Amino acid sequence: MVADFGKNRSQKDGLTDYYKSCHNEVMRENRAKNHGSTRNYHLKRRYGITEDDFERMLARQGGLCAICQVVPGVFVDHCHATGLVRGVLCFNCDNGLGHFGDNTVSLKSEVLWPEFVVPPQGRVAGPVAPTRAYHLRSR
């Protein structure tokens, strides 16, 4: 049946020389033989590491995020400028680094921010402008 063949516009009849199901099976076997798993393929393609490398990094970190050391790490952290892999992070830490763009000055400011804003015991912070939500609540 014609529907069993893939499409190939370079052919006169517009069809491939093989069944789609056979081609898909052969490609699946080749992928498994060459890369192992889909995860291994993506780790190799994106970061140049294998699943074994990932597992070794995670084991060195005790199975936890390299930054917070609380949540299990599942995301590969890498330098966007050099492409070098730095470690394995949890979602929140990886997302936070993404928002700060690996800018260490911004990250240090973020760390010091709560100490800067919270006044010492017994002292009142300076005047704070009311927000729009404050005005809406009083109506």
Query: Structural domains in the chain?
Result: 2-35 (no CATH), 50-100 (3.40.1800.10)
Query: 90 vs 67, 71, 97, 104, 111, CA distance in Å?
Result: 8, 6, 11, 19, 18
Predicted confidence at residue 7, as pLDDT, reads: 80
Q: What is the pLDDT along the chain (139 residues), one digit of tens a residue?
A: 777 777 888 888 888 777 777 877 877 887 777 777 888 888 888 888 988 999 999 999 999 999 888 888 899 998 888 888 989 999 988 888 888 877 778 778 777 776 666 555 655 555 555 555 555 555 5
pTM: 0.57
Q: Which two tokens stand for residue 39?
A: 């995860």
Residue 36 contacts residue 52 (beta carbons within 8 Å):
no
